[in-house]
């Protein structure tokens, strides 16, 4: 390729990028002008977009773009100057021109000169019907017959719709300058960004591997302490039996060398602790930044939807307004791409079958214009979408008749079905209420495919409605497919993660709460009997042990299927970076992916849908095992409980492990406020707290505790980096019983202080 060709190729690519941005401005502005044709700001924005595209097309030599943009600019200038009042036919023509400009700027699209000429004439006739022609610039093509209004054909549900920048993303290093805020952008492949996110997540986990080395150094210091004490004992013994001068000097040298090595270890431990903290902080920032690069506003999936609703409504003779809330809600770009097809289908359903004709709406006492609302928001790590219309709603009696006609349920049973149960039939494959097939799906057609696509996103979709007042679809999907909020549990000594999106609740189930119904074990949950299964059988792990006799149960749901899964232990809620399993493994039963915990250990993420299928298979074959309901006796006395409050993950984890290994039960809190909430909600035998923490520091926490009637006698130990006498006095004056400086911190010092305050681990 010659330098001139390379330059031209680059210019055409820039023109394509500019057309993409400016046509979005045109589409949004024209839809706003359709509702209020005299909005000066929208007229100005649209005129400038058309003018910019005309200039850009002229620079790169795309004459077709010059012609279309020029006649659109004429129309918009006439509207600005009051010579033209924009009506529906003008908006139709201008939107058609917007589509033409985008096609002209797309290298793979074919736009013939006749189509351009026909469009120019169409708009010129709208501008001046009497003359049939408007002013032209030199070099503009001649005109031909006008075009009819174009309504985009409905896209089939299984066809890939316009992806949300699936192949590439925009970042902000040096590159092309864009309109928003003057930022520079650079195209980066999605694969490379995925790789960056994967590397940053592994980096975050790798920083946690410093902890064992730090613990080893602490153990080496303790061994050296014991060595010094042993050397002193040996020296005393030798002196008692007579010690030569040479031996005395040799012992002194050994003592000096041990003391020097201990000082060196202490200094290195402090440096390693500081390095570990800084490395984890930087790794966290790197991971958060990489993840943020994948996030896009929900509006990115809406650019074509607003236009589609408008055009489809006009083609059906309906007046429809689409209101959108939460356009700036951030979502992973992969989720956005996969949401476009089901969202488009639901919107088409709402336009075609949900919203009535203007005549029927007026007869029903409604405004002639129908309303569709789409709301996006964040909730508990999920993207929540609510799509509602104020149409006629679903004819439930018609659904009931269809259920009976299709022999999906006996007439007697169908007569007793609730509204919710009837609506669930609409999600069955092929279930339809339409008497004939049309280009646009009716309510119910393809909802099984919508549900399938949402479930592929690890989400759920529910339909609610009130007859005569419209329908509402409620969709919940993860904000990102790269990370998943999960409950980590132990089953047979191994870690597993249940995605929170599929968990209804966690509970401790007493043996007497388990009942036997039709040969299966159940328990009562929210007004219904829920089946009980053992995770150990499903995951082929050793049976779980529960020393206190109670069962740890995770209640999971997938659509209408609800089960209680008995596990060994609740580890806690974690945000996990999803690591796909090696493709060579194929589909692993009941498992969807893997992840790494903070300590670098692996955890498998449960495929809830697959697990429920496994339960059904075990039930069908009669191989589902019963869970032992006999109350197991506690093998040891009640252990004393310690609450550790520290904003340093390293310090928190080190103290927790030390106390666990000594037999104490330990809970942790990340700052003073978190600790205060834990103290008010649970019982503890000892509080260990840092001083400097966000939200509420340790002094405030201890002061609050000493003022509380229930907690004022609770023993308190302060462990702080501050080692000055005034710091120590401040902590003790606030009400602490013991003050330990982290600079001189070692395992024995902490454990000895705990024993001094509350005794051994057994109550």
CATH number at residue 613: 2.40.50.180
Residue 598 forms part of a structural domain: yes
Q: Are residues 656 and 588 in the same domain?
A: no
User: What is the model's pLDDT at position 444?
Assistant: 40
User: What is the model's pLDDT at position 300?
Assistant: 80
Which of these three, 478, 511, 541, is where a domain ends?
Answer: 478
- Give the burial string for 380-389 (b: 16+ CB within 10 Å, else e): ebbbbbbbbb
Query: What is the helix (H) or strand (E) element at residue 304, kind and residue range?
Result: helix 303-315
DSSP symbols for 539-562 = TT-PPP--TTSPEEEEEEEETTEE
Q: Are residues 49 and 134 in the same domain?
A: yes
Look up the domain containing 222 and give its range: 207-294
pTM over 0.75, yes/no: no
Q: Are residues 582 and 659 in the same domain?
A: no
Structure tokens at 534: 């053992």
User: What is the model's pLDDT at position 388?
Assistant: 92
| CA-based torsion, 443, 445, 446, 451: positive or negative | positive
Which of these three, 127, 150, 173, is where a domain ends?
Answer: 150
Q: Residue 479: how many CB atoms within 10 A of its CB?
A: 21
β-bridge pairing 716-720 and 738-741: parallel
User: What is the model's pLDDT at position 744?
Assistant: 58
Q: What is the mean pLDDT of each run of 10 residues along the chain (763 residues)?
A: 46 80 88 88 90 85 90 91 89 91 85 88 84 45 38 39 39 39 64 79 75 78 82 82 81 86 84 84 84 82 80 89 88 84 88 89 90 88 87 84 84 83 79 54 61 80 81 86 83 89 85 74 81 87 71 82 88 81 78 80 86 82 67 54 88 85 89 88 89 87 86 86 75 82 69 84 70
User: What is the model's pLDDT at position 359?
Assistant: 92
User: What is the model's pLDDT at position 630?
Assistant: 43
* Strand runs labelled E in 492-627: 494-499, 503-509, 515-517, 520-525, 528-534, 551-558, 561-567, 569-577, 591-596, 602-606
* List of residues 6+ apart from 123 with CB closer than 8 A: 71, 72, 74, 75, 93, 94, 97, 134
In the chain, what is the straight-line distance between the N-terminal and C-terminal CA atoms, in Å?
83
User: What is the model's pLDDT at position 397?
Assistant: 84
CATH number for position 66? 1.20.120.160
Q: Are residues 433 and 334 in the same domain?
A: yes
Residue 565: helix, strand or coil by DSSP?
Answer: strand
Q: State the Cα–Cα distance between residues 306 and 300, nearest whole angstrom.
A: 12
The helix-helix angle for 245-294 and 190-206 (nearest 10°) equals 150
Residue 56 forms part of a structural domain: yes
The answer to whether the CB of 449 falls within 8 A of the CB of 430 is no
Q: Are residues 264 and 249 in the same domain?
A: yes
The answer to whether the CB of 478 falls within 8 A of the CB of 382 is yes
HSE-up of residue 579 (Cα within 13 Å, Cβ side): 17
Q: Are residues 54 and 146 in the same domain?
A: yes
User: What is the model's pLDDT at position 72?
Assistant: 93
User: What is the model's pLDDT at position 387?
Assistant: 93
Residue 688 forms part of a structural domain: yes
User: What is the model's pLDDT at position 686?
Assistant: 93
170: left (phi over 0), alpha (psi -120 to 50) or beta: beta
Q: Are residues 676 and 694 in the same domain?
A: yes
* Number of structural domains in the chain: 5
Q: Are residues 69 and 120 in the same domain?
A: yes
Query: What is the helix (H) or strand (E) element at residue 306, kind and residue range?
Result: helix 303-315
Task: Name the one residue in this structure whose structure tokens are 């609730």.
Answer: 418
β-bridge pairing 641-645 and 382-389: unpaired
In which order are the strands placed within the sheet that holds 602-606?
569-577, 483-491, 494-499, 602-606, 591-596
Q: Are residues 410 and 492 in the same domain?
A: no
CATH number for position 377? 3.30.565.10
CATH number for position 687? 3.40.50.2300
Q: State the Cα–Cα distance between residues 558 and 452, nearest whole angstrom.
A: 12
Residue 309 forms part of a structural domain: yes
Q: Are residues 447 and 498 in the same domain?
A: no
The answer to whether the CB of 610 falls within 8 A of the CB of 618 is no
Q: State the Cα–Cα distance between residues 662 and 664, nearest whole angstrom.
A: 6
Residue of 260, 310, 268, 302 whose CA lies nearest to 96: 310
Q: In angstroms, how far is CA 545 from the centroid of its own chain?
A: 34
Interior CA angle at 690 toward 688 and 695, to 5°?
A: 115
Q: Are residues 726 and 614 in the same domain?
A: no
Longest Cα–Cα distance of the chain, Å, equals 129
User: What is the model's pLDDT at position 746?
Assistant: 64
């Amino acid at each position: 390729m010659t330098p001139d060709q390379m330059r031209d190729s680059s210019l055409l690519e820039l023109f394509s990028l500019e057309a993409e941005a400016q046509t979005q401005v045109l589409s949004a502005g024209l839809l706003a002008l359709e509702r209020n044709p005299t909005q000066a700001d929208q007229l100005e924005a649209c005129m400038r977009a058309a003018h910019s595209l005309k200039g850009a097309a002229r620079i790169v030599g795309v004459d077709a773009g010059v012609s279309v943009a020029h006649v659109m600019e004429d129309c918009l200038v006439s509207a600005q100057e009051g010579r033209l009042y924009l009506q529906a036919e003008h908006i139709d023509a201008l939107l058609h021109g917007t589509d033409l400009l985008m096609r002209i700027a797309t290298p793979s699209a074919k736009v013939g000169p006749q189509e351009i000429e026909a469009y120019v004439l169409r708009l010129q006739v709208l501008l001046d019907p009497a003359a049939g022609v408007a002013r032209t610039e030199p070099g503009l093509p001649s005109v031909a017959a006008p075009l009819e209004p174009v309504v985009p054909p409905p896209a089939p549900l299984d066809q890939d719709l316009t992806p949300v920048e699936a192949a590439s993303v925009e970042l902000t290093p040096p590159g092309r300058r864009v309109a928003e805020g003057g930022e520079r952008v650079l195209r980066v492949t999605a694969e490379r960004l995925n790789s960056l996110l994967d590397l940053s997540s592994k980096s975050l986990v790798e920083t946690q591997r410093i902890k064992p080395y730090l613990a080893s150094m602490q153990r080496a210091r303790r061994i050296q302490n014991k060595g010094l004490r042993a050397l002193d004992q040996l020296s005393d013994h030798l002196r008692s039996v007579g010690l030569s001068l040479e031996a005395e000097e040799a012992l002194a040298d050994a003592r000096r060398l041990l003391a020097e090595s201990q000082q060196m270890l202490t200094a290195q431990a402090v440096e390693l602790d500081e390095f570990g903290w800084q490395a984890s902080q930087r790794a966290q920032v790197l991971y958060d930044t990489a993840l943020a690069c994948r996030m896009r506003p929900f509006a990115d999936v809406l650019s074509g939807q607003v236009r589609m609703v408008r055009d489809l409504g006009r083609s059906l003779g309906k007046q429809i307004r689409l209101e959108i809330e939460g356009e700036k809600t951030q979502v992973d770009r992969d989720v956005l791409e996969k949401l476009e097809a089901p969202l488009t289908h639901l919107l088409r359903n709402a336009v075609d079958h949900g919203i009535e004709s203007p005549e029927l709406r007026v007869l029903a006492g409604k405004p002639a214009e129908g309303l569709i609302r789409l709301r996006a928001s964040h909730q508990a790590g999920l993207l929540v979408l609510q799509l509602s219309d104020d149409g006629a709603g679903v004819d439930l009696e018609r659904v009931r008749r269809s259920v009976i006609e299709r022999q999906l349920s006996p007439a007697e049973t169908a007569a007793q079905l609730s509204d919710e149960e009837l609506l669930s039939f609409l999600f069955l494959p092929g279930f339809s209420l339409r008497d004939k097939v049309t280009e646009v799906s009716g309510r119910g057609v393809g909802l099984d495919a919508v549900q399938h696509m949402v479930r592929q996103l690890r989400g759920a979709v529910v339909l609610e409605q009130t007859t005569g007042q419209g329908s509402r679809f409620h969709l919940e999907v993860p904000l990102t497919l790269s990370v998943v909020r999960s409950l980590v549990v132990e089953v047979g000594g191994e870690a597993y993660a249940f995605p929170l999106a599929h968990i209804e609740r966690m509970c401790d189930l007493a043996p007497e709460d388990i009942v036997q119904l039709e040969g299966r074990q159940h328990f009562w949950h929210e007004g219904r009997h829920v089946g009980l299964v053992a995770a150990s059988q499903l995951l082929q792990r050793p049976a779980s042990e529960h020393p206190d006799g109670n069962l740890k149960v995770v209640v999971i749901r997938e659509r209408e299927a609800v089960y209680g899964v008995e596990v060994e232990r609740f580890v806690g809620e974690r945000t996990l970076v999803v690591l796909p399993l090696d493709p060579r493994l194929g589909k692993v039963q009941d498992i969807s992916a893997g992840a790494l915990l903070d300590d670098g250990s692996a955890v498998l993420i449960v495929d809830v849908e697959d697990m429920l299928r496994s339960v059904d298979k075990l039930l069908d074959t009669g191989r589902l095992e019963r869970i032992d309901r006999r109350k197991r006796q506690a093998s040891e006395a009640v252990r004393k409980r310690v609450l550790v409050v520290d904003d340093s993950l390293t310090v928190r984890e080190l103290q927790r492990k030390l106390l666990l290994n000594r037999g104490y039960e330990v809970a942790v809190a990340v700052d003073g406020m978190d600790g205060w909430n834990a103290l008010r909600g649970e019982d503890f035998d000892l509080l260990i707290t840092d001083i400097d923490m966000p939200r509420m520091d340790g002094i405030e926490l201890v002061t609050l505790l000493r003022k509380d009637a229930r907690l004022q006698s609770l023993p308190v130990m302060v462990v702080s980096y501050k080692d000055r006498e005034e710091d120590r006095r401040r902590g003790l004056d606030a009400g602490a019983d013991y003050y330990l400086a982290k600079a001189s911190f070692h395992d024995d010092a902490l454990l000895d202080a705990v024993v001094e305050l509350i005794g051994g681990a057994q109550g």
